[in-house]
């Protein structure tokens, strides 16, 4: 949002109010001299000198912040942020001497006003010195305590930071908005048994009285407060140098340091790649990656000290799966991309968060495609676009760039729209412009705005008027399919970033004419039965007509689904595609097939296509072998019976389950119970065998039971093939003895990826008492980490035995959960939508409305995810009312055709 023009503050004790609300009152009852959420621009910080002394026995910390200020307008006050801290002394260090400042506090906006008797003069340099104290945060934000248990059972503590988006203010007084960039010189006081790390390398350590040590860190480059980081712990580290001379170190708890080698090599390789790709040297002398035992999100891009969940960084070559390797490499690629896109060039305000997150998500795929071709990362990108569309199809979605003001609204920006939709529209733009021209524009943007803050338009300007390379036959018509005056990137991309949702392109073929309808300016791609060339067409108006050189049997728009839009084929269009898939599905790429599966089932939801048409298309899946198309088939078909599991309709539910097992039976039967093949083949094997065992497919259950019993008899020492462990654990967790054994192994395992698989397998169990116990233990956080609670609750909610338990648990513990995980956070949203998304009855909708309707604004009533929940359940109810009779009729007809195949 734009900041309102600021009044001259010199002799006006209180600015004009922005609304009819009462003027803000400070904690001492006086008027607070600022009534806006955003800070005034009259002064800005240049440099912070920070000394922090955390006490890992009392879980309390003290500190001193000296902030050098630049005064832009004469004023007698400085307004900055501080949250839940005691300020004991505030001094102004002015050119004419040192004097105390009066302090007023306004907790509602987390603001402090420092009032001076004399004027701070424009152009002069001043310093404020604040002494402060606070308790460690008891959530996962700010400066918080973490703990881990050693093999011998000893609990050890550490302290770590997580400041994005508005939590630096809970660790030290600061101007906690991304545009207030400054340099930071940090000192940490610690006991000799610990080490301290921060954004920059340590310069020296000084001995203090009482046996304490003070680590001095080098001064940072100019950066935003949310990127400041420091950790006090007993971690060990391993290090290597990049080709460009940057020292990379990976930190972890001592007993897991042997799981850091893969991350270290990946970080070296990826930092070198970005250094070359962006044509800007990484600006710091080192990059640390730290695995934190308690961490809410996946990872955080603090400059020079990126922090991670243990599962997102630690890799055991013998025990981690192919999907673990893929996930870890992607997370590291994401955080290191941020060192340029986000840290070096930062969005002006959180409304444009997608400039950081959409780009880092997009760069995961660009970087890994080049540095780790064996991971076949292209096989997984499309899934991100489908996930984004799921949220973006709701009227409670939001534009990629959208106004936000308060911390809850800012937290809500960290969602699939900012990350995944952002990445997908960048991918579309890159395809439209050509990769070479896009890269030139990105480098121009990063060089022009280094150490600055930007808005959407700065990126579009940088991407406009770049020379596109001459087309080659391998590129198709890449550089010739629009004239130069058509490449107005801003006009095209504002359509995609400033309005929510995505376009539906309606295609109708009449002889050689293709009639097109849509509401966006779209760079369309298409191919036909008559030509293997990818044709390109810029659709500018709401309707247009394309003329083909000859009549064709079929046409497929959005080639490889490189565009963020859906396509509806009117008339005979879908039937011609169904015939094509039945006759020879390999004529289209795996991504094209996956997009057709996605589009046709989504069009059923909005009443554009009949369900039996979509199901007829799904029949071709019995011959499908590629991961993206197979998983998308599951992604559209499985939710249909998941809705039924929460109603009393066992016969139809089992018929639907039988159809899906039948459809993929051939592919399931082909799977070896071993670790072999490419990453995509291994990920698919895990997926298929897990599905087959959960669905009680007899050959799968028999094999998994045999392997679980052998593993249990060996006391867990037998080496199971990694990629089949989920299937084996899920079957084993069905009996109380098997569940208890699995939990016992979970409790003592130091392998993070193994623990993760065991945890999810235990949530799939039919044992109700175990499911309830798991949620309670995760909340307590001793035997199971509280950071894992959201996954546990959402996974149990998908379990036909556990869905009501998960909803009851969420409701009963609501206040605790929003305190621990923060209002508006992606974690709270994930729990709310995850637990409720498979309900489809008026009774459950009323129950859910009744609970969320009883909340106040302080307890989350205004959260977007609540509106999304209502909308999703309404959609489910509508879907069931419209389509259940069609589904029943189609399955009955199919059973008559193939009676011997019903399971």
Model confidence at 13: pLDDT above 90: no
pLDDT on residue 369: 96
Which residues have CB under 8 Å from 47's CB, separation 6+? 67, 68, 182, 183, 184, 185, 219
Per-residue pLDDT, averaged over 13-18, amounts to: 36
Tell me how far apart the alpha carbons of residues 21 and 547 are, in angstroms, rounded to a whole number: 60
What pLDDT, on a 0 to 100 scale, did the predictor assign at position 6?
28
Span 28-80, pLDDT tens digits = 999 999 999 999 999 999 999 999 999 999 999 999 999 999 999 999 999 99
pLDDT for residue 118: 93
Pairing verdict, β 504-510 and 513-517: antiparallel
Cα–Cα distance list, 893 to 671, 779, 898 (Å): 30, 48, 9
Closest to 839 (Cα-Cα) out of 801, 864, 815, 872: 872
> Could you give the CA distance from residue 530 to residue 624 in angstroms, rounded to a whole number?
24
Task: Write 711-717 long-range contacts (CB < 8 A, 24+).
Answer: 712/738, 712/741, 716/741, 716/745
Average pLDDT value for residue range 883-891: 95
Q: Which of 96, 102, 106, 105 is nearest to 116 (CA)?
A: 102
pTM of the model as a whole: 0.94
Q: How far apart are CA 159 and CA 869, in angstroms?
A: 36
- CA dist., res. 102 & res. 69, Å (int): 17
Confidence (pLDDT) at 895: 83
When pLDDT is cut at 50, 70 and 90, the band that residue 538 belongs to is confident
Cβ 839 vs Cβ 873: under 8 Å:
yes
- pLDDT above 90 for 18: no
Question: Regarding beta strands 75-81 and 111-120, do their DSSP bridges make them parallel or antiparallel, or are they unpaired?
Answer: antiparallel
CATH architecture classification, 42-234: Sandwich (2.60)
Binding residues for Zn(2+): 334, 338, 357
pLDDT of 8 strictly over 50: no
Up-side HSE of residue 352: CA atoms within 13 Å toward CB? 20
Helices (H), 671-735: 679-694, 698-713, 725-732
Which class for 689: exposed (0-12), middle (13-18), buried (19 or more C-beta within 10 A)? buried
Residues 297/319, Cβ–Cβ less than 8 Å: no
Among 167, 89, 96, 154, which residue's Cα sits nearest to residue 128?
89
Cis peptide bond upstream of 165, omega within 30: yes
pLDDT single digits (tens) 81-116: 999 999 999 999 999 899 999 999 999 999 999 999
Q: Is 782 exposed, middle or buried (0-12, 13-18, 19+ CB in 10 A)?
A: exposed
Mean model confidence pLDDT for the chain = 92
Confidence of residue 494 (pLDDT cuts 50, 70, 90): confident
Confidence of residue 149 (pLDDT cuts 50, 70, 90): very high
Q: CA nearest 84: which of 167, 170, 4, 158? A: 170
Query: Phi/psi of residue 438, each to 5°?
Result: -60, -45
pLDDT at 194: 98
Fold equal for 42-234 and 373-467+486-503: no
**Per-residue b/e over 620-645, b at no fewer than 16 CB within 10 Å?**
bbeebebbbbbbbbbbbbbebbbbbb
Q: What is the pLDDT of residue 467?
A: 62
Cα separation of 27 and 109, whole Å?
12
Distance CA 390, CA 831 (A): 16
Kind of pairing between the strands at 142-149 and 102-106: unpaired
Task: Give the residue extent of every domain in the chain.
Answer: 42-234, 373-467+486-503
Q: What is the mean pLDDT of residues 389-404?
A: 91
Q: What confidence tens digit (pLDDT) does each residue in 278-323 have?
A: 999 999 999 999 999 999 989 999 999 999 999 999 999 999 999 9
Using alpha carbons only, what angle is made at residue 118 by residues 116 and 121, rounded to the nearest 5 degrees?
100
pLDDT tens for 718-737 read 999 999 999 999 999 999 99
Strand partners, 237: 251
Beta pairing class for 155-162 and 97-100: unpaired
Rounded Cα–Cα distance for residues 139 and 787 (Å): 10
How would you classify the pairing of strands 345-347 and 305-309? unpaired
pLDDT of amino acid 485: 54
Which residue's entry shows tokens 């459809």?
A: 663
Is pLDDT at 409 greater than 70 in this prediction? yes
How far, in Å, CA of 726 to CA of 821, rounded? 28
Residue 20 has pLDDT above 60, yes or no: no
Average pLDDT over residues 853-872: 94
Cα-trace Rg, the chain: 29
17 pLDDT tier (thresholds 50, 70, 90): very low
Helix H, strand E, coil C: the string for 532-581 is: EEEEEEEECCCEEEEECCCCCCCEEECHHHCCCCEEEECCCHHHHHHHHH
Q: CA-CA distance, 36 to 265, in Å (whole number)?
A: 47
376: left (phi over 0), alpha (psi -120 to 50) or beta: left
Mean pLDDT, rounded, for 3-9: 27
Asked if residues 35 and 23 have their Cβ atoms less than 8 Å apart, the reply is yes
N- to C-terminal Cα separation, the chain: 57
Three-state secondary structure call for residue 117: strand
* CATH, domain range 373-467+486-503: 1.10.390.10
For every residue of 158-208, DSSP letters joined together read EEEEE-TTTTGGGTS-B--STT--BEEEEEEEE-TT-EEEESS-EEEEEE-
Residue tagged 């899934």 (tokens): 383
Longest dimension (CA), the chain: 95
Q: Tell me the catalytic residues.
A: 335
* pLDDT-derived band at 475, boundaries 50, 70, 90: very low
Q: Which tokens in the block code for residue 786?
A: 């509280």
Q: Can you count the helices (H) and strands (E) in the chain?
A: 27, 29
pLDDT 10s digits, 637-685: 999 999 999 888 999 999 999 999 999 999 999 999 999 999 999 999 9
Task: Express as a percent the part of the chain with pLDDT over 70.
Answer: 94
For the segment 224-252, what is each residue's pLDDT rounded down to a tens digit?
Answer: 999 999 999 999 999 999 999 999 999 99
Provide the sign of the torsion angle of the four alpha carbons 589, 590, 591, 592, taken in this order: positive
């Amino acid at each position: 949002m734009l900041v309102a023009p600021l009044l001259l503050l010199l002799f006006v004790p209180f600015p004009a109010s922005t609304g009819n609300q009462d003027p803000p009152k400070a904690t001492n009852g006086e008027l607070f001299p600022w009534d806006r959420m955003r800070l005034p621009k009259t002064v800005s910080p240049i440099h912070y000198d920070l000394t922090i002394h955390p006490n890992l026995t009392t879980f309390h910390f003290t500190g001193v912040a000296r902030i050098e200020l630049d005064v832009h307008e004469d004023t007698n006050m400085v307004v900055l942020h501080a949250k839940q801290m005691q300020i004991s002394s505030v001094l102004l260090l002015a050119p004419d001497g040192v004097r105390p400042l009066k302090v007023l506090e306004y907790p509602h906006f987390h603001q402090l006003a420092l009032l001076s008797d004399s004027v701070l003069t424009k152009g002069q340099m001043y310093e404020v010195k604040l002494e402060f104290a606070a308790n460690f945060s008891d959530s996962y934000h700010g400066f918080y305590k973490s703990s881990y248990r050693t093999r011998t059972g000893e609990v050890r503590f550490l302290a770590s930071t997580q400041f994005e988006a508005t939590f630096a203010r809970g660790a030290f007084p600061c101007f906690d908005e991304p545009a207030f960039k400054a340099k930071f010189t940090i000192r940490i006081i610690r006991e000799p048994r610990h080490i301290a790390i921060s954004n920059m390398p340590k310069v020296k350590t000084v001995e203090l009285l009482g046996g304490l040590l003070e680590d001095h860190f080098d001064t940072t480059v100019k950066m935003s407060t949310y990127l400041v980081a420091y950790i006090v712990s007993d971690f060990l580290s391993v290090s290597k140098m990049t080709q460009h001379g940057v020292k990379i170190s990976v930190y972890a708890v001592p007993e897991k340091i042997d799981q850091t080698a893969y991350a270290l090599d990946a970080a070296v390789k990826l930092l070198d790649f970005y250094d070359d790709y962006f044509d800007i040297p990484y600006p710091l002398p080192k990059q640390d990656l730290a695995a934190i035992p308690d961490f809410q999100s996946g990872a955080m891009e603090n400059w020079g000290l990126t922090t991670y969940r243990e599962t997102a960084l630690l890799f055991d070559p013998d025990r981690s799966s192919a999907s673990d390797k893929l996930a870890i490499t992607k997370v590291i690629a994401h955080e290191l991309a941020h060192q340029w896109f986000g840290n070096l060039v930062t969005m002006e305000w959180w409304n444009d968060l997608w400039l950081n997150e959409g780009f880092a998500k997009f760069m995961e795929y660009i970087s890994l495609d080049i540095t780790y071709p064996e991971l076949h990362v292209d096989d997984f990108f499309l899934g991100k676009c489908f996930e984004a569309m799921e949220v973006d199809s709701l009227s409670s979605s939001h534009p990629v760039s959208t106004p936000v003001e308060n911390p809850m609204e800012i937290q809500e920006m960290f969602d699939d729209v900012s990350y995944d939709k952002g990445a997908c529209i960048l991918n579309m733009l890159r395809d439209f412009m050509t990769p070479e021209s896009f890269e030139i524009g990105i480098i121009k943007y990063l060089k022009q705005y280094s150490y600055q803050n930007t808005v959407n338009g700065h990126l579009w300007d940088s991407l406009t008027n770049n020379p596109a390379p001459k087309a080659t036959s391998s590129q198709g018509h890449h550089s010739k399919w629009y004239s130069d005056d058509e490449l107005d990137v801003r006009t095209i991309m504002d359509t995609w970033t400033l309005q929510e949702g995505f376009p539906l392109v309606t295609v109708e073929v009449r002889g050689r004419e293709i009639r097109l309808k849509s509401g966006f300016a779209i760079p369309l791609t298409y191919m036909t039965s008559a030509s293997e060339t990818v044709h390109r067409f810029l659709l500018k108006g709401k309707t247009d007509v394309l003329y083909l050189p000859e009549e064709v049997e079929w046409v497929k728009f959005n080639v490889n689904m490189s565009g963020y839009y859906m396509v509806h084929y009117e008339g005979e269009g879908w039937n011609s595609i169904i015939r094509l898939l039945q006759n020879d599905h390999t004529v289209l790429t795996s991504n094209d097939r996956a997009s057709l599966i996605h589009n046709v089932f989504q069009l059923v939801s909005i009443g554009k296509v009949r369900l039996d048409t979509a199901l007829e298309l799904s029949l071709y899946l019995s011959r499908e072998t590629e991961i993206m198309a197979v998983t998308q088939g599951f992604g559209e078909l499985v939710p249909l019976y998941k809705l039924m599991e929460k109603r009393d309709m066992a016969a139809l539910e089992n018929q639907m389950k039988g159809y899906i097992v039948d459809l993929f039976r051939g592919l399931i039967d082909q799977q070896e119970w071993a670790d072999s093949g490419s990453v995509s083949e291994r990920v698919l094997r895990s997926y298929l065998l897990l599905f087959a065992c959960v669905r009680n497919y007899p050959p799968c259950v028999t094999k998994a039971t045999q392997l679980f019993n052998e593993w249990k008899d060996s006391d867990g020492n037998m080496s199971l093939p990694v990629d089949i462990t989920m299937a084996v654990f899920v079957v084993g967790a069905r009996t109380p003895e098997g569940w208890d054994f699995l939990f016992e192994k979970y409790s003592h395992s130091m392998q993070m990826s193994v623990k993760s698989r065991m945890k999810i397998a235990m949530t799939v169990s039919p044992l109700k008492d175990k499911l309830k116990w798991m949620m309670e233990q995760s909340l307590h956080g001793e035997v199971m980490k509280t950071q894992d609670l959201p996954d546990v609750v959402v996974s149990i909610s998908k379990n036909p035995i556990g869905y009501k338990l998960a909803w009851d648990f969420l409701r009963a513990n609501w206040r605790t959960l929003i305190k621990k995980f923060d209002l508006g956070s992606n974690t709270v949203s994930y729990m709310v939508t995850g637990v409720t998304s498979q309900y489809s009855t008026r009774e459950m909708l009323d129950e859910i409305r009744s609970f969320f309707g009883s909340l106040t604004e302080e307890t989350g009533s205004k959260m977007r995810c609540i509106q999304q929940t209502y909308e999703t359940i309404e959609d489910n109810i509508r879907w069931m009312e419209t389509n259940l009779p069609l589904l029943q009729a189609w399955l009955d007809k199919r059973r008559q055709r193939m009676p011997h195949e019903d399971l």
